[in-house]
Amino acid sequence: MASTTPMTSEPQIGLFNNSHLHNINSGTFNNAAGDSHIYNSFVNSSTNQLAHLYNFIAVSAMHDSEERFPQPKCHPSTRERILQRILNWVESDSGERILWLSGSPGTGKSAIAQTVSERCKRNGRLAATFFFFRTSSERNTSDCLVPTLAYQIALSVPGAKEFIANAVEDDPSIFNQDISSQFFELVIHPLTLTAQGWDSTQSLVIIDGLDECTDKRQQTDILSAICNAFMTHELPLRFLICSRPEHNIQMRFEQSDLQSATARLILDMDDTVTQDITTFLEAEFSRIHREHCIRETPWPTEGVIRSLAERASGQFIYASTVVKFIDDRDFQPQERLDMVLGTLPHGKWSPFAEIDLLYTQILDAVPASKIEKTLLCLGVIIYRGDHAEFPGDIFATQPTFLNELLQLNSGGVEHLLRELHSVLDVQSRVSIRHMSFPDFLKYKIRSGRYYIDKEMVWAEVLGLLWATMLRWLNQFHNVRSGNLKPTPKSDSFIISPVSNHKALESFTSRKQTCRGGPSGAG
């Protein structure tokens, strides 16, 4: 009997036999038989393009970056009214899609921005953040702004990742284009395509410290790009912009296109800030009292805390700097508090080092050609009450008087002080926003080259007043003699003839005893 070999079915060698496949995107596949090694490569286009986008972002500018740790945040139970107003605006259907949070240096803008970003992150409303910083090369320019925002939006907004990745793939040169083009290609257009599958939830973009972008043109270009986006497209985004009230930023916000799209919050007008600073100081002093095992009770007294809160003039940086100085483990807190209060000399350890650096940076922005006259103008304002016979004391903060005194044209004082709008309020009167600023200017050990010496200021002022009076008397004489018709000017300061007569003798005698000299930095 012939043997019969059973027929067996040989397994067919195939590329995907007995395979479990999920989500193959792109790639090249080869079928090989025999003793071959098979390598399959898979490329995810979106992930690859986001990796390319990542090369152009500033990671340190994000709200949760390691470089910014520990990030400044609002102390518990403080700034709640401001925070709630911002969060209500984020969730509202208001047509004002931009909120400008403005405030003087040290008023807590970055802490508020950080706190808002964390709360919006928790409730799923945060799209992206960018925190400018003056001394960081990747955070003091707009070069990385749009890629950084786009990268975060790709991760936080459902469906946006693919369209942003496509934009990068379609035109890799986008990173070398102007900010308006970048903003359209990497943010506006992708979100417009995404919007069909996106619910109506508003997402927030936070840009903090716009004034710390060192190129003023870039500052206004950023605002224009955002404004144009809302004028031409329906985007489920809102922008919180935080900055000092610098002149060029303020002027851009006052233009009609941006003004109509912007709500505004001014921290300097927050009437709860002194109470918030008091709450912060009470909590921190209580902690210091406990951790340093201070036996004095109460320490410090309510009066001291209240005095410090008032001296802060709305600046949280003042309060936090004081706390940091007193909380030094190498010194007794009681002695350090006495240094802050001025009852004990502080020597080489300044309680206000951070504030002094802040004011120095602000004054550094004043052009060299203007600094001497700027310091003289500031000197007139901060020392105006120190000489009872000064006839212009009640007028000394008026731009019209200062123009006449400093021999400036109409509008000259406003131009002279343009770089100082973050520390000065220049309107019908020139007022200083914070008590700590004149304190800084009056002490040479703190202000250095920006120190304003009182005696030099008054020597200079007396000379200027003398010249002003001679000009006025000559004009008065010409009018009386009929050589000149009186032409009242709304912008000229006039001293009455009676006060002229009394003041001339005083100024003449004092001018002979005072030494002239520059009014600038000692």
pLDDT in tens, 262-303: 999 999 989 999 999 999 999 999 999 999 999 999 999 999
User: Among 23-27, 432-436, 492-496, which is the least confidently predicted range?
Assistant: 492-496
**Segments making up each domain of the chain, as ranges:** 47-269, 272-349, 362-461
What is residue 342's predicted lDDT score, i.e. its pLDDT? 81
What is residue 139's predicted lDDT score, i.e. its pLDDT? 96
Find tokens 């010249």 and name the residue.
Answer: 467
Check pLDDT > 60 for residue 40: no
- Condensed to tens digits (0 to 9), the pLDDT of residues 158-215 reads 889 999 999 999 999 999 999 999 999 999 999 988 876 555 578 999 999 999 999 9
What is residue 394's predicted lDDT score, i.e. its pLDDT? 57
Find tokens 């069909």 and name the residue.
Answer: 196
Over the chain, what is the mean pLDDT?
A: 83
Between the alpha carbon of residue 7 and those of residues 2, 12, 130, 492, the distances in Å are 15, 15, 72, 116
What is residue 21's predicted lDDT score, i.e. its pLDDT? 43
> What is the spatial distance between Cα 461 and Cα 6, in angstroms, rounded to a whole number?
120
The DSSP-derived string for 190-213 is: HHHHHGGGS-S--EEEEEE-GGGS
Check pLDDT > 70 for residue 348: no
135's CB contacts (< 8 A; 6+ apart) are none
- Condensed to tens digits (0 to 9), the pLDDT of residues 103-127 reads 999 999 999 999 999 999 999 999 9
> What is the spatial distance between Cα 280 and Cα 232, in angstroms, rounded to a whole number?
44
- Condensed to tens digits (0 to 9), the pLDDT of residues 70-82 reads 999 999 999 999 9
Please state the rounded mean pLDDT for residues 306-323.
Answer: 93
What is residue 428's predicted lDDT score, i.e. its pLDDT? 85
Check pLDDT > 60 for residue 27: no
Percentage of the chain exceeding pLDDT 90: 61
Angle at 107 between CA 319 and CA 364, to 5 degrees: 100
- Condensed to tens digits (0 to 9), the pLDDT of residues 375-426 reads 999 999 998 866 555 555 557 788 988 998 898 998 999 999 999 988 998 8
What is residue 458's predicted lDDT score, i.e. its pLDDT? 87
**429 within 8 A of 355, measured Cβ to Cβ:** no
What is residue 522's predicted lDDT score, i.e. its pLDDT? 29
How far the first Cα of the chain sits from its last, in Å, is 124
* Architecture of the domain delimited by 47-269: 3-Layer(aba) Sandwich (3.40)
Rounded to two decimals, what is the model's pTM? 0.77
